[in-house]
Amino acid sequence: MSSAVTPKVVQSIFEMYQKNKLVVNRRYQRKLVWSLKEKEKFIDSLLNGYPIPLILTSKQKSDETNLEILDGLQRLNAITSFIECEYSLNEHYFDLDSILVTKQLKEKGALVQKEPKLDADSCNLILNYEVPLLTTSNNSHKYIDETFRRINTGGRQLSKHDVRQAGSIGDIPDTINKIASYIRTDSSRTDIVTLKNMKEISIGEKELNYGIDIDEIFWVKHKIIIRDDIRKSRDEELICHLLSYVLLPFKSQTTSSYLDELYQSNTTASIEILNEINKYSKEYLIISFNHVYDEIKKIFKEDRSNFSNTIYKGKTIKASRAYQVLFLSLYELLIKQKKVINNYKNLHDSLKGIYEKHYKSIMENDKKWNNNDRSRLIKSTIGLIDNNFSSSRNKQFEPGGWIKSLENIINEAKSEQQWYDYKAGLVTTSPLKKELNKNLIDKILKTLTAMTNSTNGECVVIVGVAESEEGAKAHQIAFNKSYIKYSKVFIVGIEDEANYLCGNIDLYIKQIKDYIKNSKEISESFKHLVLNKLVSFTYKDKEILMFRAERGEIPEQYNKAYYERHASHNSEVISAEAMAALFKRF
């Protein structure tokens, strides 16, 4: 095993970044959390020649030309995003004409030069700064995990929960991280993400114009956790409290020291929780938590008052505790008692001022908040809201029927195009035609075969979402209905074309299914898979249709040919070498 310090100039690092040679393992690596001011200060250090800490990497197992970032993620992102003109230094932006790679990207339209430009000498000083890079050839999980733990517990200024998480690997942190990522909408399909794609699924700010806007994250928007505490992983700390209560309601504790024990292997608390996770399965717990969160979002939807403005009549205080009580009350009713909400508005109204009426005397008394207090409040909350629920075997929560939120899908698609595609609709709008565009359905089926031939996991084509504003405006002109902009896409929905074509969504979906049933282009087994997984759901006031498929035992053909998915394009497999590689995947 060997390690070597090799200084690399900033320009060389940026070229590696552009070639996707710098990767991040989200199994243990912190999210991008640096603020704009922190980034500006770091670039100023480069400009003025100040020394910076060593950046640690390891050679990736699957491709030793790739470097996995062990320490220095925030610094490397600060470098690359500055060169891409995402932010300025002293109100001056990097000059894209300074080096060939950025000049070519500018000419292609991939990068946009912002003004005023930083002077040539300053750009050159930054580009030629030698970044100290230590690379190890030992890429075993055990070595990397221990390295990461030591880096992050060696006196750095981390939050309590970041210290707990540092190097902590296993089902407890993994379950918590996956739930937290779903709520922040920064989830990814795979653990390994390129540094280039990492920014698309990380916490950003309006000034940085990328990733997840921190003010739009549920916790911040509803005043449950403040902005800075999201960066310190307080959301994951809160989820840890929730998970421990769900699994061990009588043994879990509300203390910081209890959370410390959960993240340490071989403590009584962590062993007990792991035993319970194994009883339920990690996937079940993640989906059930996400389902309860989705229901909370429906209760506090945008045309109603948000969580804090509903729960509190006056000043918001102990909001994370109040959220614990409500979440765990809903978990009991929705998941454990298998009930469904029968009136979201009435349920919302029944929560108005609940803190002052029922929580305040317990949460704000002199003694410390404990598990008995939490349990008492959960029982009283269930008593107050239970009349808004009903038992229904047909509608009870089933993990297999849960659908990931559209916002999470859109954010994942930004960095993982192989698995996702969008269609604004299945009716031609320019000019408007009163018939299904069968060619578009054929394209969707072809795309699904290409996706499943290329990658494992569920593949998705979403109908009701336009990738361009031009497509959204064409829909608006055709049906005189507005669209919703989210991130870089435009949500138009399918209900307008369904009503225009058939009178309702059910008949519209039946037409689509009938066409797929009669398709001669795909195998019978693939046809049944697509039909069984076809699903519609509501996002805000828009109905979305989702085509889904996943890899079978053999590659899928479309019209007697094999296709693969490369980024957002399908290409036919023609050469013998490519065909052999395709079948080798199966």
Confidence band of 202 (pLDDT split at 50, 70, 90): confident
Instruction: Determine the residue type at 313.
Output: K
Count of CA atoms in the C-beta half-sphere (13 A) of 149: 12
Task: Give me the residues paired with residue 535 across strands.
Answer: 546
For the residues 103-124, what does the mean pLDDT come to?
96
- Mean per-residue pLDDT, 534-555: 93
What is the signed CA dihedral for 361, 366, 371, 376, rounded to 10 degrees? -20
Maximum Cα–Cα distance across the chain = 75
pLDDT tens track for 29-69? 667 778 889 999 999 999 999 999 889 888 876 666 789 89
Q: Give 432-495 as a 3 state SS string.
A: EEEEECHHHHHHHHHHHHHHHHHCCCCEEEEECEECCHHHHHHHHHHHCCCCEEECCEEECCCH
Would you identify the CATH topology of the domain 416-584?
Answer: 3.30.950
Comparing 276 with 137, which gets the higher pLDDT? Answer: 276
In the chain, which segments carry CATH 3.30.950.30? 416-584
Query: Token pair of 219, please?
Result: 């916790």
Q: Residue 15: helix, strand or coil by DSSP?
A: helix
- pLDDT tens per residue across span 432-474: 899 999 999 999 999 999 999 998 888 999 999 999 999 999 9
C-alpha to C-alpha distances, 293 to 3, 297, 323, 445, 571, nearest whole angstrom:
45, 6, 11, 32, 39
Tokens of 397: 């929560």
Find the DSSP H helices in 281-394: 282-299, 307-311, 319-331, 344-350, 354, 360-363, 371-385
Mean pLDDT estimate for the chain: 90
CB atoms within 10 A of CB 439: 10
Calculated CA dihedral for residues 372, 376, 379, 383, nearest 10 degrees: 180
Whether residue 394 has pLDDT greater than 80: no
- What's the predicted TM-score (pTM) here? 0.83
Coil vs helix vs strand at 178: helix
Tokens matching residue 142: 């055990």
